[in-house]
Chains A and B, each alone.
Chain A
């Protein structure tokens, strides 16, 4: 095992940190066991053309080569240390950042880290069967790239737990490998991470919408006064960008295929592609599920985290004002059957502030997909984000019913219209019926357009995944 530890790429001086070594020595075999048990099913022995981060230098974070996934070099990287860095927001603004966990914030930080960390292995579990129905070798490789990087993000979080949180941290790290997505006994912490992802439309939606929540959470934590967390999450963000790319372009290619067929006067459904309404329903579902991940619209935790300098706003460093005191945020919340405008102290609305940025970003992707429709010559049909009150399970709108325009409706109306807004069992079965694997080099399934270009400058028909050599 000592040998294996030496192969862990890192910039945290692992070789001289005995406490960390001891912790990782115990955790690493469990991680590998977890990966083999619930990681990508059926492809563990394949050679996959993957990107590995081997250093934080400009050319070090994207080293490409074939690798068997269980042998992937999951590294531990923090953005280089900036000795001058000060806390950039909250009540403690201007003080030097913390290199160790302040006792006062130990529990809150641990909770933040564990909640973030739990999503990483969860998504690997959710996606483990997808390889068997991949639409192309290119997509298969992207799936695995996403998976191994989620694995690395887990490592990054576990590093923080091991290095800074003592026995409790080690226990939490162990439990990260014990919870299971969708398990009734030990479910993952956040609900969206217990939803099964058993078709590629869902996978692309997940990487588009749910991973994008991750981006915003990481970006908020990248501002943290707890410097190791900030530095870790900054490095994770570079990888997260690829996941979002996979999702955004994946959906775009599905839209493109659908649009081409429609423009040619054909019915996508009959042609074995994903019809427009179904794409819209999946958007409605995954966007609303992902909105919930930001937490309640009015949150005392969010206010505390901001005040304490633990979690900032998106690109806090580019804002003009960093205390967020004496300011309010106006939002409409349902009260007794109608919507009432409410003024919330800005700090308590930090989840909503972050959600605003997220919604903007999602709208940008929607615009791009609509451009694809337009370019293909489809007129009069455009994809749209549902209102953020639609289909919420968290926050003041949870338990009330709204249509995709955000208009309050009765439960009875919801029941009659739900099947037109969210995927039904038949819809899912239809999507499932399209999922036939395409493993041939350069070939792409019928329901999705081919990617515009390959990975790392390589052609689309490159052999991104090689079966185990006989």
Chain B
């Protein structure tokens, strides 16, 4: 049904030296990320990104900057996020970009920006980099949502700059980058005030913004720079501990993967993702270190899957390589607590969580060539189903990493989530693995195999499952998978992906937003929107 042009092909590789919209400056233990979006410098060079509004290309640079802060600048303890414009902090996602995008692109754009905001919070929580939003002007929509992802928000008090979430009153959609969730769940704004705030297009400024809990402080222009500098120093001094002094530069991923292969069969709408185990189990403190490079390639492949292969509905996940070495490197990752190894673990955890919210079916295939060992064992758990061949030399080997270092969005390990009914089963898997690789039959008994079949049945089982999957509604599958992938406790992230995003994606396809006279369609047009007034 979409009549729009296909989304532009984008590179997810970038580097501060090539940023078009951000500058990253490091001064001792304080970093400064300054947003100044190049108006016609986005993914679509025809589209003017006015008033520091952003598109995917802007967010790719932000995500890159956060990654580099963690790996390349371990001395940084606080990061100020601000704008290079005088009166505008950030106007959020560009409306015309959204309005002219396909539904799948909108959804994936929001998902990516959500992951970036959550990565900021992950860096704060787990890497001790505290973020300060220095809102030096109007902070609207996605701009305020970016600020909400920071630990502290300081707004300029100039009599006119506001923080706002104008999506509901102006566009008939939701602030889809965690705004609603963080207002009440993170900043704990009272629900009635949150309600008033989110229907007030122009937002809230000054004293009231502080009273309502929307920002931490408002500061006049003459004191703004000093206050920000002081608060950044305070944040840095409160940061938990020194991470390191010498960073690890991140190389470019490009399209030539070393440890991951990703092939697409457009005809059957399936893809095959093969992750190769390490050839060397020793620690290397650079970006070629296998768990780092492998996870970054996997991450890259997942993003390309999302943005470039809309029609692929099912991904067969395979692993291959030396199980022993994979196991050893997993143990190394779990036991070593240097800052670099911690970052490698956190990065791996984020990549797996990217997989958790990728709207594709994932089936793991475990056969003789497989290497679901150490870090790669988590891939099996991240899949919707696992097909295990009943044959000799087919085994899986969970390691210490699976005991807590790689939590999912719900805060639990994937084993805990899998065995919610009986937490002892997770323990049993880990205990069994202490003895060495777990053979197929045992894995099946322990609850790690969806289908355990011998060579007579295996191929057929898999073929039928793949074909059956392809026949089901892609939308229903996405919804079903998202409901099942993170059972258990709610977190900010599960609420964002499972509640906010789900509502948003529903609203996005409703006529009241994107119909001929929907609010999003009509934005900036000469006519006003018309609503179907029936509540559902």
Contacts and interface: CB of A to CB of B under 8 A. Distances in A.
B528 interface: yes
Contact of A107 (B159, B160, B202, B528): B202
Interface string A311-347: 0000000000000110000000000100000000111
Interface string B503-536: 0000000000000000000011111100000000
B527 A91 contact: yes
A325 B523 contact: no
B267 to A, nearest CB: 41
User: What does DSSP make chain B's interface, helix, strand, loop or mixed?
Assistant: loop
Contact of A304 (B40, B200, B220, B528): B528
Contacts of A189: 159-160
A325 B527 contact: yes
Contacts of B222: 184-185
Contact of A345 (B158, B201, B220, B525): B525
B469 to A, nearest CB: 44
A345 B202 contact: no
B232 to A, nearest CB: 21
A346 B40 CA distance: 24
Contacts of A178: 159
Given A107-B169, A186-B220, A179 B159 contact: yes
A307 B159 contact: no
A127 interface: no
Contact of B158 (A185, A306, A307, A325): A185
B157 interface: yes
Interface residues of B, number: 18
B526 A175 contact: no
Contacts of B528: 91, 304, 307-308
B221 interface: yes
A125 to B, nearest CB: 14
Q: How large is the interface on A (under 10, 10 to 19, 20 to 34, 35 or more residues)?
A: 20 to 34
A375 to B, nearest CB: 46
Interface in A283-304: 300, 303-304
Contacts of A179: 159-160
A9 interface: no
Given A178-B159, A185-B158, A189-B160, A107 B201 contact: yes
Contact of B159 (A187, A306, A325): A187
A325 B526 contact: yes
Interface in A181-207: 184-187, 189
A167 B221 CA distance: 26
Given A107-B202, A175-B159, A184 B221 contact: yes
Contacts, number: 50
A256 interface: no
A185 B526 contact: no
A308 B40 CA distance: 31
Contacts of B40: 336
A175 B40 CA distance: 36
A342 to B, nearest CB: 12
Interface string B181-211: 0000000000000000000111000000000
Contacts of A348: 524-526
B186 to A, nearest CB: 26
Contacts of B201: 107
A111 interface: yes
Contacts of B200: 107
Interface in B338-395: none
A346 B526 contact: yes
Given A107-B169, A107-B200, A303 B158 contact: no
Nearest to B46: A335
B169 A187 contact: no
Nearest to B219: A185
B202 to A, nearest CB: 6
A315 to B, nearest CB: 20
Nearest to A396: B48
A300 B159 contact: no
B221 A185 contact: yes
Nearest to A92: B528
Contacts of B524: 300, 303, 348
A346 B527 CA distance: 11
B97 to A, nearest CB: 15
B527 A307 contact: yes
A263 to B, nearest CB: 46
A347 B159 contact: no
Among A175, A300, A325, A348, residue most surrounded by chain B Cβ atoms (within 10 Å)? A300
Nearest to A302: B526
17 contacts: A107-B169, A111-B202, A175-B159, A179-B160, A184-B221, A184-B222, A185-B157, A185-B220, A186-B158, A186-B159, A186-B220, A187-B159, A303-B524, A303-B526, A336-B40, A345-B525, A347-B527
Q: 8 tightest A-B contacts by CB?
A: A347-B526, A185-B220, A300-B524, A345-B526, A186-B159, A179-B159, A303-B526, A307-B528
Interface of A: 91, 107, 111, 175, 178-179, 184-187, 189, 300, 303-304, 306-308, 324-325, 336, 345-348
Given A175-B159, A187-B159, A345-B525, 5 more contacts: A178-B159, A184-B221, A303-B526, A345-B526, A346-B526
